[in-house]
A and B are shown apart, each in its own frame.
Chain A
């Protein structure tokens, strides 16, 4: 057993590292991956390939975007990231081996996991794209080839051509290649010839010449990076410089450190690295966003019960999560019974303002039947994608909105675009079929219903007058039960009891919270009057309210939470 472990320790460690990466990215960050994938649109068209390739870093970009499309299946996405990290590590080790082949065998294999671990840490912020990792992986293998060339003139010629070409292909990560090749030249004992160093210098000059004469209109830093290393225009320079330097340094250090025979040092080192990685990853992991994205995708797929079930397991702890939960409650007609089973903030519980959020709000507006508004929000989101990609997620919403609104030609344009993708093709084809079928959209259970719910007249929409907006929707479409549910939620959350009572539709049985509101309104009247008995309210509800009132006056308000926390009364009196 010991022998087995000893012989295969590296394989085992690599597999464990890979599996951990798959688990982390493919499972714990699955919705992040889906979100990132949704914010790009990888098209299988010549035009897309050309547009992606014709700038510095284009090769790395195309490669990374190609891989990113597989984030659509998060587990596959996890596998891809894990494989890239391992390939990156293997490339570093290949460099180390080539250098130490001329010295003595290196024992410091574990050190070569430091740069991939550091990149893993970077990738926990999903604004760091796969392009940077893909670029660096290409760079380490290209550098590894350099250190295999024994002939001086070959190395000189190679580095002269590779530096500018590498920059054109992968962008700024080519700087790491310069460092790696320079270190290799210094550290490889029979080398250290002036000719390759001259090649490096000339290669840099050649790169500078191309850099300053290229007619691309980018700010210098963006032009240097070339590819979409970061989702925002302002690329954080320090992490990347650190990453490239770390890669070169680790390679050099692993190559020059003296060998040792003590097994336990390796084990300790491995354990410390794993612990450190686990600790920083845990610190960096954004659980809140992961849940929010889960709710977003569940909403998109209309999996309302999934949102409700998750909220029961763990209460929503952000405004957008509450928004999505309340949408799910409205869509399942359970807001009247369950709204206050979950903590509701006094403001922003139903929808956030235009400046605060558009991503989640467009789902709410879509399901309310405000298709034009939903379309606007989706388009604004599309316009604000920081790395200027098109987005499959929003193009789907645009296509749906245009189908529902009768803008068929435009819908077809978007659907034909999605037809050029791998994962959205079938979705697009099903919708194209609807458009090509007479009354296809009208007969669709979701689109047909939304088409009927669209406003018939213009009215000003603003989330600041959400109640008025909901009333306008209902005036146009009294059957819009989603809007009705929202209106009732709105009145309860704004504690507008007179408006609530005025707009209440009597059904039997009346939902629990609606009865609670009625109990509160009737609370001060006599219980034995004809008016009281006409109220569609269970006697038990009224009794419970009376008990609540007594306890409210008698006991510490903080203790009411346990017994009455899930009632409208608690929200009315206790939430300011």
Chain B
């Protein structure tokens, strides 16, 4: 009899221990997670949106449900969604409902469910960016990398360990084409690498007759030309606590480089000494060159405002027109990084209170201009209280990747947002990482994100074997 009683008690305890149903406290708020993937819109090829719980907890559980999907992922305070299950869900679903529960001292808390919307619009699979410490004048280790956004794989394109710690910057692609790329390698033995299909050449950008070497690039859509700014850049450092530093140009102009003929084409319109012309960007059809311009000479940095301007461009002969058109002059602020969408409908740019280097401006936001109406306004849904700066369009002009400092105010991270037919952006999501705690631990910034439509096949050997070629000046 006693044995039977013990057996029954044992069975009850066993059953209770095995029960998969916990007693939950329901919290009517969204879960405290990082990155914030609540109600974001993602492409169907995106890597799993792994995240971590930012509140103290001893374990957590996430249920992911769709019309044809249901599974649970568990973890201590980090959720790593299995790749295969995730991919399958994204292939078949339009919306996923995610419910997060965490175990605290008082027991299990179940938070309000949120959604992940899966867009049908495809996205370029590669994001190319530079990783560097967000420093001042000095720099150390840096590299340019390509990341598959459908997986977590990141491959090195070039690191500055190959060039004695030189600066690498300004990687750019013609129409998101991985086979047409340029990037600057500063310092001894450097030059500008121009990759055109199989051909890799290194050009010396100190050109006779030009007062500076090539700086900010923008490829012509057909890949024949690259518009470069040439800049004389300085820094100033702030003492008052709310700001850190500013970067400004004391002189800047724009030139056109002919890739095929390896020569600089004259461009008098854009070498006006009464203006600071910078950040060139070709329109989608290649017939207009947009750029930012401010009056020169620079007198007071905080009163230096760049407007968005344009000039016609003839792709046949690489010549710019004589008249400059004003596209947009902000009422309050200064423009930078004009980026026309590939379908020609919009131009996004960064607006800051003043100056030409918005990454150090907390108030910097991304604005969008409708090329038909000429109206511009902030892309409200993708801006934050902190810096939004450099941005790039996907090949189909449906996705925008941009650099933002919203996570901590200093370390730049890449966010991606979807744009619908009406030109409205969805809530952006942070580029996911395999380890959800990665961004908290990383002491490098991600800058100059560029969508690329395929894998960049540039080998270390090709870079090292490239010979320096002198560039001619047509003038």
What CA separation (Å) do A371 and B410 show in the bound complex? 16
Whether B138 and A233, one on each chain, are in contact in the complex, defined by CB atoms closer than 8 angstroms, is: no
Q: Which residues of B contact A413 (CB under 8 A)?
A: 408, 411, 440
Minimum CB–CB distance for B153 against chain A, Å: 13
Asked if A457 lies at the interface with its beta carbon under 8 angstroms from chain B, I say: yes
What CA separation (Å) do A461 and B164 show in the bound complex? 32
Q: Which residues of B contact A47 (CB under 8 A)?
A: 435, 438, 441-442
Asked if A379 lies at the interface with its beta carbon under 8 angstroms from chain B, I say: yes
Minimum CB–CB distance for A53 against chain B, Å: 16
Q: Which residues of B contact A380 (CB under 8 A)?
A: 135-138
Which residue on chain B has the smallest CB distance to residue A380?
B138
Whether A454 and B241, one on each chain, are in contact in the complex, defined by CB atoms closer than 8 angstroms, is: yes
The one of A405, A409, A454, A460 in contact with B408, judged by C-beta atoms closer than 8 angstroms, is A409
What CA separation (Å) do A217 and B239 show in the bound complex? 39
Segment of A106-114, A144-152, A382-390 engaged in the interface with chain B: A382-390
Minimum CB–CB distance for B129 against chain A, Å: 16
Give the interface centre of B159, B161, B440, B460 by most chain A CB atoms within 10 Å. B161
Which residue on chain B has the smallest CB distance to residue A369?
B239
Asked if B133 lies at the interface with its beta carbon under 8 angstroms from chain A, I say: yes
Asked if A416 lies at the interface with its beta carbon under 8 angstroms from chain B, I say: yes
Minimum CB–CB distance for B36 against chain A, Å: 14
Asked if B107 lies at the interface with its beta carbon under 8 angstroms from chain A, I say: no
What CA separation (Å) do A407 and B407 show in the bound complex? 12
Whether B162 and A219, one on each chain, are in contact in the complex, defined by CB atoms closer than 8 angstroms, is: yes
A-contact 0/1 string along B439-475, CB 8 Å cutoff: 0111100000000000000001000000000000000
The one of B140, B158, B237 in contact with A461, judged by C-beta atoms closer than 8 angstroms, is B237
B-contact 0/1 string along A358-382, CB 8 Å cutoff: 0000000000001111011001101
Q: Which residues of B contact A407 (CB under 8 A)?
A: 409-410
Minimum CB–CB distance for A475 against chain B, Å: 12
Q: Which residues of A contact B135 (CB under 8 A)?
A: 379-380, 382-383
Residues of chain B from 135 to 171 with CB closer than 8 A to chain A in the complex: 135-141, 143, 156, 158-159, 161-162, 164-165
Whether A417 and B240, one on each chain, are in contact in the complex, defined by CB atoms closer than 8 angstroms, is: no
Minimum CB–CB distance for A258 against chain B, Å: 50
Residues of chain A from 33 to 54 with CB closer than 8 A to chain B in the complex: 43, 45-48
Residues of chain B from 222 to 246 with CB closer than 8 A to chain A in the complex: 236-245
What CA separation (Å) do A43 and B156 show in the bound complex? 24
Asked if A218 lies at the interface with its beta carbon under 8 angstroms from chain B, I say: yes
Asked if A406 lies at the interface with its beta carbon under 8 angstroms from chain B, I say: yes
Size of A's binding interface in residues, CB under 8 A? 44
The one of A215, A383, A461 in contact with B239, judged by C-beta atoms closer than 8 angstroms, is A461
Whether A388 and B156, one on each chain, are in contact in the complex, defined by CB atoms closer than 8 angstroms, is: no
B-contact 0/1 string along A421-432, CB 8 Å cutoff: 000000000000
Whether B140 and A385, one on each chain, are in contact in the complex, defined by CB atoms closer than 8 angstroms, is: yes
Q: Which residues of A contact B411 (CB under 8 A)?
A: 413
What CA separation (Å) do A382 and B140 show in the bound complex? 9
Whether A372 and B244, one on each chain, are in contact in the complex, defined by CB atoms closer than 8 angstroms, is: yes
Q: Which residues of A contact B159 (CB under 8 A)?
A: 217
Q: Which residues of A contact B162 (CB under 8 A)?
A: 217-219
Whether A370 and B460, one on each chain, are in contact in the complex, defined by CB atoms closer than 8 angstroms, is: no
A-contact 0/1 string along B410-423, CB 8 Å cutoff: 11000000000000
Given known contacts A417-B443, A461-B239, is B140 in contact with A218 (CB within 8 Å)?
Answer: no
What CA separation (Å) do A379 and B245 show in the bound complex? 13
Minimum CB–CB distance for A463 against chain B, Å: 13
Minimum CB–CB distance for A401 against chain B, Å: 9
Whether A219 and B161, one on each chain, are in contact in the complex, defined by CB atoms closer than 8 angstroms, is: yes
Residues of chain A from 402 to 445 with CB closer than 8 A to chain B in the complex: 404-407, 409-410, 412-413, 416-417, 420
B-contact 0/1 string along A201-213, CB 8 Å cutoff: 0000000000000
The one of B141, B237, B410, B438 in contact with A373, judged by C-beta atoms closer than 8 angstroms, is B237
The one of B137, B140, B238, B440 in contact with A372, judged by C-beta atoms closer than 8 angstroms, is B238
The one of A379, A416, A417 in contact with B136, judged by C-beta atoms closer than 8 angstroms, is A379
Whether A371 and B241, one on each chain, are in contact in the complex, defined by CB atoms closer than 8 angstroms, is: yes
Q: Which residues of A contact B161 (CB under 8 A)?
A: 217-219, 222, 233
Minimum CB–CB distance for B145 against chain A, Å: 11
Which residue on chain A has the smallest CB distance to residue B160?
A217
Which residue on chain B has the smallest CB distance to residue A454?
B241
Q: Which residues of A contact B238 (CB under 8 A)?
A: 372, 458
Q: Which residues of A contact B408 (CB under 8 A)?
A: 409-410, 412-413
Whether A217 and B240, one on each chain, are in contact in the complex, defined by CB atoms closer than 8 angstroms, is: no
Minimum CB–CB distance for B461 against chain A, Å: 10
What CA separation (Å) do A70 and B165 show in the bound complex? 30
Asked if A456 lies at the interface with its beta carbon under 8 angstroms from chain B, I say: yes
Minimum CB–CB distance for A54 against chain B, Å: 12
What CA separation (Å) do A417 and B162 show in the bound complex? 29
Whether B440 and A416, one on each chain, are in contact in the complex, defined by CB atoms closer than 8 angstroms, is: yes
Which residue on chain A has the smallest CB distance to residue B156?
A217
Which residue on chain A has the smallest CB distance to residue B240?
A458
Given known contacts A217-B158, A218-B161, A390-B443, is B239 in contact with A459 (CB within 8 Å)?
Answer: yes
The one of A46, A372, A410, A460 in contact with B435, judged by C-beta atoms closer than 8 angstroms, is A46
Minimum CB–CB distance for B239 against chain A, Å: 4
Q: Which residues of B contact A343 (CB under 8 A)?
A: none
What CA separation (Å) do A384 and B138 show in the bound complex? 7
Minimum CB–CB distance for B174 against chain A, Å: 24
Minimum CB–CB distance for A269 against chain B, Å: 45
Asked if A565 lies at the interface with its beta carbon under 8 angstroms from chain B, I say: no
Which residue on chain A has the smallest CB distance to residue B135?
A383
Minimum CB–CB distance for B436 against chain A, Å: 12
Asked if A455 lies at the interface with its beta carbon under 8 angstroms from chain B, I say: yes
Whether B244 and A384, one on each chain, are in contact in the complex, defined by CB atoms closer than 8 angstroms, is: no
Q: Which residues of B contact A406 (CB under 8 A)?
A: 241
Whether A376 and B237, one on each chain, are in contact in the complex, defined by CB atoms closer than 8 angstroms, is: yes
What CA separation (Å) do A457 and B441 show in the bound complex? 33
What CA separation (Å) do A47 and B143 show in the bound complex? 18
The one of B143, B164, B237, B240 in contact with A233, judged by C-beta atoms closer than 8 angstroms, is B164
Minimum CB–CB distance for B200 against chain A, Å: 15
Give the interface centre of A222, A383, A407, A417 by most chain B CB atoms within 10 Å. A383
Whether B237 and A455, one on each chain, are in contact in the complex, defined by CB atoms closer than 8 angstroms, is: no
Q: Which residues of B contact A375 (CB under 8 A)?
A: 244
What CA separation (Å) do A217 and B440 show in the bound complex? 26
Give the interface centre of B136, B143, B164, B238 by most chain A CB atoms within 10 Å. B238
What CA separation (Å) do A217 and B143 show in the bound complex? 10
What CA separation (Å) do A166 and B269 show in the bound complex? 62
Minimum CB–CB distance for A312 against chain B, Å: 35
Give the interface centre of A43, A373, A458 by most chain B CB atoms within 10 Å. A458
Residues of chain A from 161 to 217 with CB closer than 8 A to chain B in the complex: 215, 217
Whether B136 and A217, one on each chain, are in contact in the complex, defined by CB atoms closer than 8 angstroms, is: no
Q: Which residues of B contact A460 (CB under 8 A)?
A: 236
Minimum CB–CB distance for A42 against chain B, Å: 13
Q: Which residues of B contact A390 (CB under 8 A)?
A: 443
What CA separation (Å) do A407 and B139 show in the bound complex? 22
Whether B460 and A217, one on each chain, are in contact in the complex, defined by CB atoms closer than 8 angstroms, is: yes
Whether A382 and B440, one on each chain, are in contact in the complex, defined by CB atoms closer than 8 angstroms, is: no
Minimum CB–CB distance for A158 against chain B, Å: 32
Q: Which residues of A contact B158 (CB under 8 A)?
A: 217
Q: Which residues of B contact A461 (CB under 8 A)?
A: 237, 239
Q: Report, nearest first, the 9 A-B pairs whose CB atoms are least far apart.
A: A405-B241, A383-B138, A217-B159, A455-B239, A409-B408, A383-B135, A217-B162, A388-B141, A383-B140
Q: A residues bordering B, Cβ < 8 Å?
A: 43, 45-48, 215, 217-219, 222, 233, 370-373, 375-376, 379-380, 382-385, 388, 390, 404-407, 409-410, 412-413, 416-417, 420, 454-461
Write 18 A-B pairs (CB below 8 A) sorted by A numbering: A46-B435, A219-B164, A222-B161, A372-B237, A372-B240, A372-B241, A373-B239, A376-B136, A376-B244, A379-B135, A383-B133, A384-B140, A405-B241, A417-B441, A457-B240, A458-B238, A458-B240, A459-B239
Further 9 A-B residue pairs, CB within 8 A, beyond A47-B438, A217-B162, A454-B241: A47-B435, A380-B135, A380-B137, A383-B138, A405-B241, A409-B409, A417-B441, A455-B240, A457-B240
Q: B residues bordering A, Cβ < 8 Å?
A: 133, 135-141, 143, 156, 158-159, 161-162, 164-165, 236-245, 407-411, 435, 438, 440-443, 460
